[in-house]
Amino acid sequence: MFWLNKLRSKSPSRQALPESVAQYFQQSPPPKQTPIEQLRFVALDAETTGLKSKSGDRILSIGAVGIKHLRVDLSDRFFAVLNPERASLPETVKVHLITPEESRRAPAPELVMPKVLSFIGADVILGHHIRFDKAFLDNEMLRLYGKPLYNIVVDTAELAYALDATLRSSESGMQSPQEQQKYALDALAQRYGIETAARHDAWSDALCAAQLGIIFLRKLSVQGVRTLADLQLLTRTM
């Protein structure tokens, strides 16, 4: 039994977790039949030291904003810079503009992640190519707490694809690089008249994704996508 007790001692226990983290793991996602307009979405974006979550790249900053009744709620917002505990690639610093000194002075992930979980709760996370951001968040979650995020995620790029009758270039739904550029965050923002000042800040990207998401969700509701289950089915078939 010694080996079993030793294994348990290495697993994050609920008693050892910060209160907000323990509360997060006690919650459940919203029911699938919840109408979309009754959901709280959390539009989220993360800036990272690089593009490879499986090769040691880490989160530099997280921005998020709440969406309630399909409206952006600017009183419900979150932003934090984290110490990634590793250097950013020089080319990425030119994109996110977070200096090495700013990163060194930022709080450690274990101080920021409880606040992130308290903000997002069990709600649906929305973002542009959100699975990229979730992979980095899951890495921090697994490292700190032994479990990934359980939130349902919705990709605004996939919603844009669903609305665009000309999106598919093959039966598999794959797109050429030229077509993919049409669904980049900047391109979609320009198409739908959304300003993108300071675009590569995590907060600005999250706000842009929120605005796009609202437009797409309203348009999709006219086509019969009215519940969380409808939304999940739509993105599952992309």
Q: Is residue 25 part of a domain?
A: no
With beta carbons less than 8 A apart as the criterion, state whether 103 and 92 touch: no
pTM: 0.87
Q: Is residue 135 part of a domain?
A: yes
Q: Is residue 213 part of a domain?
A: yes
Q: Is residue 4 part of a domain?
A: no
Number of domains composing the chain: 1
Of 130, 200, 118, which is closest to residue 158 (Cα–Cα)?
130
pLDDT digits (tens, 9 = 90+) for 157-182: 999 999 985 445 444 455 667 778 89
Q: What is the mean pLDDT of the chain?
A: 88
Rounded distance between C-alpha atoms, residue 36 and residue 32, angstroms: 10
Instruction: Give the CATH number of the domain where residue 40 resides.
Output: 3.30.420.10
pLDDT digits (tens, 9 = 90+) for 11-38: 454 458 999 999 999 999 999 999 999 9
Domain that holds residue 132: 30-165+176-234
* Residue % of the chain over a pLDDT of 90: 69
Rounded distance between C-alpha atoms, residue 74 and residue 127, angstroms: 16
Please state, in angstroms and as integers, the Cα–Cα distance from residue 236 to each residue in 61, 135, 152, 219, following that order.
29, 18, 12, 18
Which residue(s) pair with 46 in the sheet? 62
Tokens 């997002």 found at: 120
pLDDT digits (tens, 9 = 90+) for 52-87: 888 889 999 999 999 999 999 999 999 999 999 887
Q: Is residue 21 part of a domain?
A: no
Would you state the pLDDT for residue 82?
Answer: 96
- E strands of the chain, at which residues? 40-48, 59-68, 71-81, 124-127, 153-155
